[in-house]
Amino acid sequence: MVFLMMEQLFTGPIDSLENLAYLNTWSYLLTFYTNLMQWKSANYEVEKKEAKTTDPNKSYPNSMWYKAFAVTTLEIASALNFVNLIGFWFFVFPNSASAYDTAQLNEALGSTWAAQAYFFLRNYVVHTVPFLVTTANICLADVVFLETDWYLMPTTAMFYLLVSFSISAYSGKEQIYILKWTNTDTYIEFIPFMVMCAYMLALLSVHFILCIMTQVARQRYVNDFAKYNANPQ
């Protein structure tokens, strides 16, 4: 988020809006939000535990809501961060030098060594740190991902598609990040719907793998949650 705010000093409102079409922007915003919800959920539980010692009848109806929102945002962020990390290191990283030639920073600051060094550093940080943060959350927190949350992945992919189209229409640009909106009736490179279908399948694959890993690691499976969900504590 610090990198994003710094860049706004040199880019205009349309360029700022286009940042919302970058998948790495979605990565660190979702990572920040899931950490915020986990912090809120944890503090809510501490407050509930302390209050029950003085007032056992006091109700905390939002307890399950905070937990559910923390887990679902972590599920989305974890899948998104892993897919984005793979995409960066295998496709974006090898072409970092040529990518700067068409970057917004090149237009604003020129091809100075400082601007290029910042561009490379920023790319490494925003594509790697979100993945490390969500991975640490999964390892340190007592959390289990559920296969029944699979719908979050296509929902995220299709919502991104809508955002990209809206930004393209607003800015008047044919291509926004990886989606080229002039390619809507062919099967050539960057056709939006085809790209996002592939991205959705990648998100689903990562999600199901994380479901297996977290359930096996914690020895709690999706069938074990029926009674827990029906009778929340």
Q: Over the stretch 30-79, which tens digit does the pLDDT of each residue have?
A: 998 899 888 888 887 777 777 777 777 776 677 778 888 889 999 999 99
- The SS3 of residue 106 is helix
Q: What average pLDDT does the segment 13-35 reach?
A: 78
pLDDT of residue 79: 95
User: Phi, psi (5° rounding) for residue 126?
Assistant: -70, -20
pLDDT of residue 15: 57
Question: 29 or 171: whose pLDDT is higher?
Answer: 29
Give the pLDDT confidence score for residue 6 in this predicted structure. Answer: 54
Least confident of 31-40, 96-105, 192-201, 217-226: 96-105
Q: What's at 95, amino acid-wise?
A: N
Q: What's the whole-model pTM score?
A: 0.79
d(CA 154, CA 160): 10
Q: Which is higher by pLDDT, 35 or 173? A: 35
Question: 3-state class of 102 per DSSP?
Answer: coil
Over residues 81-106, the mean pLDDT reads 71
Neighbouring-strand partners of residue 179: 176
Tokens of 223: 């069938």
Question: How confident is the model at residue 25, as a pLDDT?
Answer: 83
Q: Where are the alpha helices (DSSP H) in the chain?
A: 2-7, 13-18, 23-52, 63-87, 96-101, 104-109, 113-140, 152-171, 192-218, 226-230
Residue 63's Cα: distance from chain center in Å? 24
CB 168 within 8 A of CB 176: yes
| Residue 175 φ then ψ, to 5° | -120, 125
- Residues 143 and 137: their CA atoms lie apart, in Å, by 9
Residue 153 has pLDDT above 50, yes or no: yes
Q: What are the structure tokens assigned to 188, written together?
A: 């050539």
